[in-house]
Amino acid sequence: MEAELIEYCTRLADTSLIVGQRLTEWCGHGPILEEDIALSNIALDLIGQSRLVYAHVSELKNDGTSEDDIAFGRDANEFKNFLLAEQTNGDFGKTILRQYLISVYQYHQYTLLQQSTNQFLSAFAAKSLKEVTYHVRHSGEWVLRLGDGTDESHLRMQTALNELWLFTDDLFDADQLETTLADKNIAANIAQIKDLWTKQVTQLLTEATLTIPVAHNFLRKGSRKGIHTEQLGYILAEMQFLYRAYPGAKW
């Protein structure tokens, strides 16, 4: 069971790390100063969450592996982050919509995880839920404002939704590991998350006058098997360069 717990925790951390890394690309480039700071703070929240979990995974492994080794020493096929998290920022509308879709998922995931029989997961979920609640509110307000805004902002948001929706099925592609852990009340139940996520996302997108694409034959998934888009490789090349170029280096 410990191996399954390590895998599950790593998946949680990978998504937070990768989407957090994506958001750092906005630092100094936000459309307004206030939003520049907001995106940077959300990135810090997400990377902080990933650090907590990686540190716990390091303790579970108990083989000398550090949280840095886990984050910077693995190749793309060893990462299990959602495909949605690694997609390019695009314009501000696409970034904020991507964040909304992921944050709503994390909100319901952490809400359920508060009831986990695993002490670490329940405590982590309770702490992270406070941050994610803000992420949902902040990104959701922008999705609504831009979707139901000008003709241009609406078009940009609809274009972003058409692109990002292709990766939403991956969020709910539960495998045997997650099903087993959920049955033991350790992991969050994916079916429950899907119902809650779909209801909340559909309601906001409707209010934002956006149309959910019908693209069932083109939906992408596979992150839980280490199958990713080429975008993850670009992220890791930048994120891991220093660690790999100077192994063991200390500041």
Of 192 and 35, more confident: 192
Residue range 122-131: average pLDDT?
97
Q: What percent of the chain has pLDDT over 90?
A: 85
Determine the pLDDT at residue 1: 66
Q: What crossing angle do the helices spanning 2-24 and 176-183 adopt, rounded to 10°?
A: 110
Quick check: 8 pLDDT over 70? yes
Q: What are the pLDDT digits (tens) for 163-180?
A: 999 999 999 999 999 999
Read off the amino acid at residue 106. Q
Of 127 and 1, more confident: 127
73 secondary structure, DSSP code: S
pTM over 0.85: yes
Q: Is 184 helix (H, G, I), strand (E, B) or coil?
A: coil
CATH architecture of the region 2-245: Up-down Bundle (1.20)
Determine the pLDDT at residue 79: 97
Res. 216 pLDDT band, cuts 50 70 90 = low
Q: What are the pLDDT digits (tens) for 49-94?
A: 999 999 999 999 999 889 999 999 999 999 999 999 999 999 999 9
Residue 137's contacts (CB-CB under 8 Å, 6 or more residues apart) are: none
Q: Which residue has the tokens 């307004």?
A: 32
Residue 153 Cα distances to 14, 32, 34, 142, 145, angstroms: 31, 16, 19, 11, 9
Determine the pLDDT at residue 30: 76
In Å, how far from its chain's centre is CA 226? Answer: 15
Count of Cβ atoms closer than 10 Å to residue 152 Cβ: 10
CA distance 81 to 10: 9
Per the CB < 8 A criterion, the answer to whether 29 and 39 are in contact is no
Q: Which residue has the tokens 């790390």?
A: 17
**Burial classification of residue 150, based on how many CB atoms lie within 10 Å of its CB (0-12 exposed, 13-18 middle, 19 or more buried):** exposed
Quick check: 251 pLDDT over 70? no
